[in-house]
Amino acid sequence: MLALTILLVLLVATVVVMIAVLAALHMLNLVPLLVPLIPLVLMIGTGLLGLIEILLLFGTKEDNRIAKKELMWLWGICILSALIWWFSTSLLW
């Protein structure tokens, strides 16, 4: 359960940082060029969190059950982010 709490805090912090970065980029008129970086960062972040979840699979049975569910969600977000990144970059070039 502690791992789930840590992951949720990390995801919320990531969203807050991304909003702050987008606000700063919007003031500099750089948003259209850097929009594909958002799903790329999300893809890399969820991939790394997925690797942490794989390590949790070797814990207790409760950690194992929770980690399996979290791992499915994280890899789904990672794949979706990769598709969004591919689509957004193909529109720009």
Structure tokens at 22: 């987008």
Tell me, yes or no, whether 88 lies in a domain: yes
Q: How far apart are CA 87 and CA 84, in angstroms?
A: 5
Q: Which residues contact 11 (CB under 8 A, 6 or more apart)?
A: 49
pTM, entire model: 0.49
- Residue 6, domain member (yes or no): no
Other C-beta atoms lying within 10 Å of the C-beta of residue 25:
16
Classify residue 16: in a domain, yes or no.
Answer: no
Is residue 59 domain-resident? Answer: yes
Structural domain contains residue 13:
no
What is the extent of the structural domain holding 91?
A: 40-93
The count of domains in the chain is 1
Q: What is the pLDDT of residues 6-56, one digit of tens each?
A: 766 777 777 777 777 777 777 777 766 666 777 777 777 777 777 777 776
Q: Is residue 15 part of a domain?
A: no
The pLDDT-based confidence of 2 (bands split at 50, 70, 90) is low
For residue 74, which amino acid is it? Answer: L
